[in-house]
Amino acid sequence: MSRKSLNHLRKMKAAKEKIAVLTAYDASFSYALEQAGVDVLLVGDSLGMVIQGQESTVPVTVEQMIYHTANVIRGSDNMFVIADLPFMSYANAQQAIQNAARLMAEGGAQMVKLEGGAVIADTVEELTARGIPVCAHLGLLPQSVHRLGGYFVQGRESEHADALLADAIRLEEAGADMLVLECVPASLAKTITEQLTIPVIGIGAGVDCDGQVLVLYDMLGLTPGKRPRFSHDFLAETGSIQAALSAYVSQVKTAVFPSLEQQF
């Protein structure tokens, strides 16, 4: 069976059909997520934290992203697969092109994800002009945690919210095919989702995005320490991994997740 395409995801947005996304890092979970009906897998650089036990995503390398992406690809047949370009692997357009090409050619990813606003717009233009599909990532940028000083909600003040909206529009104009919005007020995420024609996937961004993504280990309650407020322990709720994954897909599709308590 062939994998879902970007076209399929665009049609889902147009039909207002919610897109269920989860992170994955290995073949076994990739298979389980496919069985549960997940639409899109994100091989996130969150693997630095949940697989490697690092304090942030900063130490993750391109080699590691290729290794995990290839494992995820081997585990499933029909989901659309996005892979993160890790910290400083896209500091300039040339580097971004080379590393994105490796994630696609060696890892098998269908799209790459980059963190940042207008500052990465030229790089997004260069990538998409060469046929590399791009997912931009706005709001809380985990690769910038040392500059941000922690993992906080972004865009609460109107000036910052306006800047995020302008960044989102600029990235779509630059050719981005998808946007992840992390930890922003639900009202701002709704505005951005309505203004963009590309699918907008939220994490801690409210129920009105075109789809939702969570870190797999967070939604299974496996991540040590405090779970982010916007996540939910679906394993505790259902009692088995497969039931937890299916409940997530069903609650995203029916806009039950995220609830008001799980948004800002």
Binding residues for Mg(2+): 45, 84, 115
Question: What's the closest the beta carbon of residue 82 comes to ligand KIV, in angstroms?
Answer: 9
Question: What's the closest the beta carbon of residue 1 comes to ligand KIV, in angstroms?
Answer: 25
Q: What is the Cα–Cα distance from 113 to 105, expressed in whole angstroms? A: 15
Question: What's the closest the beta carbon of residue 262 comes to ligand KIV, in angstroms?
Answer: 15
Looking at the Cβ atoms of 63 and 162, the one nearer to ligand KIV is: 63
DSSP-assigned letter for residue 89: T
Looking at the Cβ atoms of 23 and 193, the one nearer to ligand KIV is: 23
Looking at the Cβ atoms of 141 and 247, the one nearer to ligand KIV is: 141
Annotated binding site: 45-46, 84, 113, 115
34 belongs to the catalytic site? no
Annotated binding site for 3-methyl-2-oxobutanoate: 45-46, 84, 113
Q: Which residue is nearest to ligand KIV (CB)?
A: 44
62, 68, 70, 67: which is closest to 97 by C-alpha?
62
33, 49, 134: which is closest to 85 by C-alpha?
134
Alpha carbon 164 to chain centroid distance?
A: 17
Beta strands in the chain (DSSP E): 19-23, 40-43, 80-84, 111-115, 134-139, 178-182, 200-203, 211-214
List residues near ligand KIV by CB under 6 A: 23, 42, 44-46, 84, 180, 182, 203, 213, 215
Looking at the Cβ atoms of 45 and 210, the one nearer to ligand KIV is: 45
The residue annotated as part of the active site, out of 157, 182, 194, 237, is 182
Question: What's the closest the beta carbon of residue 76 comes to ligand KIV, in angstroms?
Answer: 17
252, 244, 176: which is closest to 207 by C-alpha?
252
Catalytic residues: 182
